Chain A
């Protein structure tokens, strides 16, 4: 066992774990976060997705000890009691069925919009291609991503300055 320090959702945590322990189990079982979920353990489905320094990664195949950056989980997306625009769009479009996969969908969509605030339909399909939903909510997910993109653009236009991507990360 060895001590590993993780920065998660703005807080520091020290955990005593075997070096190879995948980040997923540390987040879920040591830090009691429930956003990232086990789906395959093989980097194939996206259910375990978290954002590290703006990039969506698969925590099921990422050793916790290898992560030095700031980790954001689904629980950490909201800012000052305000849901992230992606989460707001998800509720407005009534996306989930069972909801089990939606952590991966939302986190991947957030990272996608951070790198490309105004994606085309084809870019959404491509950017989300690796995140599976067995309830088949894809149609509403794609609508929600477009809505989040639109509404973020409208909000930053109203605010007059910050581009959407920086606003979301701030």
Chain B
């Protein structure tokens, strides 16, 4: 059994085993002024040498050195070092494919290391589904540069011009005489490239070499199974929750029972006799109990007697009153507007005017595994073992919070539960580091289920008020849009003055984040517009469980629910088929016709064609036939997310007697440009859709005027096996007007398919029943109420 013990040494051995015998830093120190200049493009790495002399233990890998990104080993394999993290969307596998392709090495002969701050260059970790769209480019370019350098070395060795050489499977041969060849290992295995790269920031990192045209790519485009899946299935994977350190102790937090309460006193004697008790740590309203064993810490945190003074004023309205509160409260700021044409005249001339309101509650991350981190303060340094998707930010934030030099702090990134934005992984990393520094011992902290569900950051709650005009031609001529989101003091990633422990300690930044409310992208031709989105604040802005932070496409699902529901309503008012109504508005839109418009049209058409969409207006005129309780309908929603275009069609069965909704079939047409791994993409798109379905049907943060009351899987339901559609179909689209162009870009996935899901379900329910669902989530009681009000 002992070989399963996860010690950090084993973790690091696994990370570094792929490295040459000496680490980069050791190499720099011992190599003195030795600098190889391999070509005109290579510059000395003098800056790095100077830094190395003064460096602490955990300096930043220099993205302007090729050796930071790629190592070729004596056994003719390679290791890639990238500053990203992979929450299970398969980006690691995709990055490895991209770099293998540019380097010309077989996929199986390369490894990829991600996200550990002193080993991999800072590409920011994950966020915004931009890993493939943005961060893949420096990876491709550095791999192409390595290949270029290897070809030059081979040219010298084989006494043949580069143009007469062929690189394949980490071997370079003379094209005219393949018997004359040399391997990458023979050229550079175990040694450094010593090639300087250029680029004002890491995203622009490049060498001299150009990336390959799409037509020459061999590994990109293959459905290679994800490398991380076997370990996760066999039980051999090392997770951040598994790390054990000699002398480590376990901590659990004790949170204020009422939001905004202040600590009056702690009775430490209520737990000090408990088995394994180590300490109670307290700073203002931050309280943690530390014990030798995990279950002891859990018990002690439950039993600790703490006296709290409730706040003078209610911290927030109860969730039942939330939307009225939003509508009745003056905004703190207007964050987004879009005005065009002459809406007043258009409304005056309208053939029909439609008004509608929509409401979306707070929804949470509620990770399946509550937030956790282990911090080790040994030797005056700080190492944090974490699954934080932004490991670099965690490292920088903790260094600032603890007032430690950055080069004494590092984060070892390891697998963990889902990371779809600004989760409590940030908060708990700071807590573990703080407690470890206080106690001088390694401390592991994990939040409890109720803590995670109540206190993790939330996606903002929204209200929407909309008004639209249909002109005499049956087209949408005007739109008024007024959105309000509770997002004041939005919590960003790993900020030392907004993480929860900082807030509870009384740290306040002078200018809280103003927050954001969004207007939808104008993907349609709507000539006259008056659109605004404003931010609202709650009475309690700090130390509140209702703190907002990025949750998978932060405002997209809310805004797209309202906008795409309303567009559907307008189509129904015009008596038009919802797909045709949209296609007509896309065709007439002023979007870049060569690219976005073409891709939008292709994507919506692909979804409709694959689904077998028959043209007719909604609701289904035959919906009341048959007389049974089950009504069937279909609905579409369409959107963009950065460079990615997505159209989703949901087919639903609504039980008119119970209000239950089953989404039976889902079709998603998805254009993200060049697809690196169709299998991985399909899986990620499926799960993005079903996560959206969970938000559509189940998820809602509920609270009374003191505290969050949805605190576990009974009070905060989530999608389950029984909700799973019978069929989930992903159609990969390439709608580029020049689909074969050699520089076809790769856009992101993950969030795009998540974004239109709530709207697609609502539109399908309308088609099935004639009822327009205006309030998320669509739980049975609410649907039943809407059905009764309609009939």
Given A25-B294, A32-B5, A106-B233, A94 contacting B225 (CB threshold 8 A): yes
Q: Mark B364-384, 1 if CB is under 8 A from A, else 0.
A: 001111100000000000000
B470-478, B523-531, B598-606, B713-721: which lies at the interface: B713-721
Q: For the side of the interface on A, what is the size category?
A: 35 or more
Closest Cβ–Cβ distance, residue A9 to chain B (whole Å): 9
Return chain B residues, CB-CB under 8 Å to A138.
690, 719-721, 723-724
Q: Mark B411-437, 1 if CB is under 8 A from A, else 0.
A: 000011111000000000000000000
Assembled-state Cα–Cα distance A42/B743 (Å): 52
Return chain B residues, CB-CB under 8 Å to A33.
1, 4, 235
Return chain B residues, CB-CB under 8 Å to A91.
225, 229-230, 233
Given A45-B368, A126-B722, A136-B694, A97 contacting B235 (CB threshold 8 A): no
Report whether B724 and A125 are in contact in the complex, using a CB–CB cutoff of 8 Å: yes
Q: Mark A103-134, 1 if CB is under 8 A from B, else 0.
A: 10010000000000000010011101101111
Return chain A residues, CB-CB under 8 Å to B687.
97, 135-137
Assembled-state Cα–Cα distance A124/B225 (Å): 25
- A residues 12-58 near B (Cβ < 8 Å) are 13, 18, 21-22, 25, 28-29, 31-35, 37-42, 44-45, 47
Report whether B4 and A100 are in contact in the complex, using a CB–CB cutoff of 8 Å: no
Q: Mark A41-83, 1 if CB is under 8 A from B, else 0.
A: 1101101000000000000000000000000011101100001
Report whether A32 and B88 are in contact in the complex, using a CB–CB cutoff of 8 Å: no
Return chain B residues, CB-CB under 8 Å to A73.
235
Report whether B416 and A125 are in contact in the complex, using a CB–CB cutoff of 8 Å: no
B734 within 8 A of A: no
Assembled-state Cα–Cα distance A136/B689 (Å): 9
B206-214, B236-244, B395-403, B583-591: which lies at the interface: B236-244
Report whether B690 and A45 are in contact in the complex, using a CB–CB cutoff of 8 Å: no
A139-147, A149-157, A160-168: which lies at the interface: A139-147
Q: Mark B723-748, 1 if CB is under 8 A from A, else 0.
A: 11110100000000000000000000
Q: Mark B159-175, 1 if CB is under 8 A from A, else 0.
A: 00000000000000000
Which one of B2, B229, B713 contacts A40 once the chains associate, using CB atoms below 8 Å?
B713
Return chain B residues, CB-CB under 8 Å to A131.
721
Report whether A128 and B721 are in contact in the complex, using a CB–CB cutoff of 8 Å: yes
B298 within 8 A of A: yes
Report whether A34 and B683 are in contact in the complex, using a CB–CB cutoff of 8 Å: no
Report whether A34 and B370 are in contact in the complex, using a CB–CB cutoff of 8 Å: no
Assembled-state Cα–Cα distance A138/B417 (Å): 16
Report whether A98 and B233 are in contact in the complex, using a CB–CB cutoff of 8 Å: no
Report whether A40 and B449 are in contact in the complex, using a CB–CB cutoff of 8 Å: yes
Q: Mark B287-302, 1 if CB is under 8 A from A, else 0.
A: 0000001111010000
Report whether A132 and B418 are in contact in the complex, using a CB–CB cutoff of 8 Å: no
Assembled-state Cα–Cα distance A100/B296 (Å): 24
Return chain B residues, CB-CB under 8 Å to A75.
4, 234-236
- Give how many A-B residue pairs fall within 8 Å (CB-CB): 183
Which one of A11, A99, A101, A140 contacts B415 once the chains associate, using CB atoms below 8 Å?
A99
B190 within 8 A of A: no
Report whether B235 and A32 are in contact in the complex, using a CB–CB cutoff of 8 Å: no
Report whether A42 and B235 are in contact in the complex, using a CB–CB cutoff of 8 Å: no
Assembled-state Cα–Cα distance A124/B722 (Å): 9
Closest Cβ–Cβ distance, residue B645 to chain A (whole Å): 22
Given A42-B449, A73-B235, A139-B724, A98 contacting B686 (CB threshold 8 A): no
B706 within 8 A of A: no
Report whether B232 and A96 are in contact in the complex, using a CB–CB cutoff of 8 Å: yes
- B residues 590-648 near A (Cβ < 8 Å) are none
- B residues 229-286 near A (Cβ < 8 Å) are 229-230, 232-239, 241-242, 244, 275
Assembled-state Cα–Cα distance A128/B721 (Å): 6
Specify the chain A residue showing the minimal Cβ separation from B231: A99
Assembled-state Cα–Cα distance A133/B725 (Å): 15
Given A32-B244, A40-B712, A99-B237, A18 contacting B275 (CB threshold 8 A): yes
Closest Cβ–Cβ distance, residue A107 to chain B (whole Å): 10
Return chain A residues, CB-CB under 8 Å to B728.
139
Specify the chain A residue showing the minimal Cβ separation from B225: A94
Given A25-B295, A99-B228, A134 contacting B448 (CB threshold 8 A): no
Report whether B232 and A102 are in contact in the complex, using a CB–CB cutoff of 8 Å: yes
Return chain A residues, CB-CB under 8 Å to B690.
136, 138-139
Assembled-state Cα–Cα distance A106/B370 (Å): 20
B6 within 8 A of A: yes
- Leading 3 A-B pairs by shortest Cβ distance: A99-B232, A97-B88, A136-B690
Q: Which residues of A contact B (CB under 8 A)?
A: 1, 11, 13, 18, 21-22, 25, 28-29, 31-35, 37-42, 44-45, 47, 73-75, 77-78, 83, 87, 90-91, 94-103, 106, 121, 124-126, 128-129, 131-142
Q: Which residues of B contact A (CB under 8 A)?
A: 1-2, 4-6, 87-89, 225-226, 228-230, 232-239, 241-242, 244, 275, 293-296, 298, 366-370, 415-419, 446, 448-449, 679-680, 683-684, 686-687, 689-691, 693-694, 712-714, 718-726, 728
Q: List 6 A-B contacts (CB under 8 A).
A: A1-B275, A32-B2, A39-B370, A95-B229, A99-B88, A124-B721
